[in-house]
Amino acid sequence: MARVLVTEELAETGLDVLRAAGNDVDVRLGLSPAELLDVVAGAHALIIRSATTVTSDVLSRGKDLVVVGRAGIGLDNVDVAAATKQGVMVVNAPQSNILSAAEHAMALMLAQARNVPQSYAAIRAGKWERSRWQGVELHGKVLGIIGLGRVGALVAQRALSFGMRLVAYDPYVSPDRARQMNVTMLSLDELVATADFVTIHLPKTAETMGLIDRDLLRKAKPGIRIVNTARGGIIDEEALAEAIRDGTVGGAGLDVFTHEPCVSSPLFELDSVVATPHLGASTVEAQDKAGVTIAEQVNLALAGEFVPFAVNVSAAAASETIKPFLPLAEHLGRIFACLHEGLPERLEITYEGGLSGYDTGILTLSAVKGILGGVSEEPVTYVNAPQLAQEHGLEITEASTSTTRDFVNLMVLRSQGHAVAGTLTGARGEERLVMMDDHPIEVPPARHMLVVRNDDRPGMIGTVGTVLGAARISISSMAVGPSTGLGRDHTALMVLSTDRGVEKGTLTELRNAPGIHEAHAITAMA
Catalytic residues: 231, 260, 278
Rg (CA), the chain: 25
Q: Considering only CA atoms, which of 198, 139, 142 is closest in space to residue 170?
A: 198
CA dist., res. 479 & res. 496, Å (int): 6
CA dist., res. 173 & res. 148, Å (int): 7
With residue 309 as reference, give the H or E element that holds it. none
> What CA dihedral angle connects 186, 414, 505 and 249, to 10 degrees?
20
Q: Considering only CA atoms, which of 207, 444, 462, 274 is closest in space to residue 452?
A: 462
Between β-strands 395-401 and 67-70, what pairing exists: parallel, antiparallel or unpaired? unpaired
Helices of type H across 62-206: 80-86, 98-114, 116-124, 150-161, 175-180, 188-194
Q: How many CB atoms lie within 10 A of CB 273?
A: 22
DSSP-assigned letter for residue 360: -
3-state secondary structure of 184: strand
Please check whether residue 324 is in contact with residue 372, taking contact to mean a CB–CB distance below 8 angstroms: no
Residue type, position 225, single letter? R
Helices (H) and strands (E) in the chain, counts: 17, 22
Inter-CA distances, 228 with 50, 102, 104, 199, 477, Å = 20, 11, 10, 6, 39
Non-local (6+) Cβ contacts of 501 within 8 A are: 206, 448, 521, 523
